[in-house]
Amino acid sequence: MQATALVHEAWLRLTQEGRYKFESKAHFFNAAAEAMRRILIERARRRQTVRHGGEYVRIELEEELLVSPESDELLLILDDALEKLSQEHPCQAKAVKLRYFTGMTHEQIAEALGISPATAKNYWAFSRAWLLREVSSRKRDGR
């Protein structure tokens, strides 16, 4: 999925029927990150169904335009791990969503979450290691 298409879809979902009233910049970016995450996960799940060609090997023609990991299966594993991170470490999970799905810098994340840039960097470092361990164990276990 092209980054532009992802941003447009997220924007449409966020502004649809005026269902969201954003209280702050941080609230908007958190909602945008969550919307982008959900769009990518829905797309990955849909593409894995047999009805949508899930049994065929897909070849992407313009890989540099992809926003998601190399495979839908890996994206779904990452989503499960991110859900678990959200339950165990909600602040760190918010930082990951802002960094990964919206491309925010540590400074922008710090401003959005009301934390220091050093704390944002620490959250990112911790979360990357945590998610890598979780994803690696799930791939080994075949979950």
> Which of residues 69 and 122 earns the better pLDDT score?
122
Instruction: Report which of 131, 71, 74, 76 is spatially closest to residue 99, judged by C-alpha positions.
Output: 131
Residue 71: what residue type? Answer: S
Res. 74 pLDDT band, cuts 50 70 90: confident
User: What pLDDT digit, counting tens, does each position of 9-47 carry?
Assistant: 888 888 885 667 888 888 888 888 888 888 888 888 887
The yes-or-no verdict on residue 72 having pLDDT over 50 is yes
pLDDT at 12: 81
Mean pLDDT of the residues in the chain: 80
127, pLDDT greater than 80? yes
Quote the percentage of the chain above a pLDDT of 90: 26
Report how far residue 138's alpha carbon sits from residue 143's, in angstroms, rounded to the nearest whole number: 5
Identify the CA nearest to 112 among candidates 41, 30, 42, 35.
Answer: 30
Res. 56 pLDDT band, cuts 50 70 90: low
pLDDT, tens digit (0-9, with 9 covering 90-100), for 85-99: 999 999 999 999 899
Cα dihedral 119/121/125/127 (nearest 10) = 60
The parent domain of residue 96 ranges over 3-141
pLDDT (average), residues 112-122: 93
State mean pLDDT over 97-117. Answer: 91
Looking at the structure of the chain, the number of domains it has is 1
Compute the average pLDDT of residues 55-77.
55
Comparing CA positions, the residue from 99, 72, 73 lying closest to residue 85 is 99
- Rounded CA-CA distance 4/119 in Å is 30
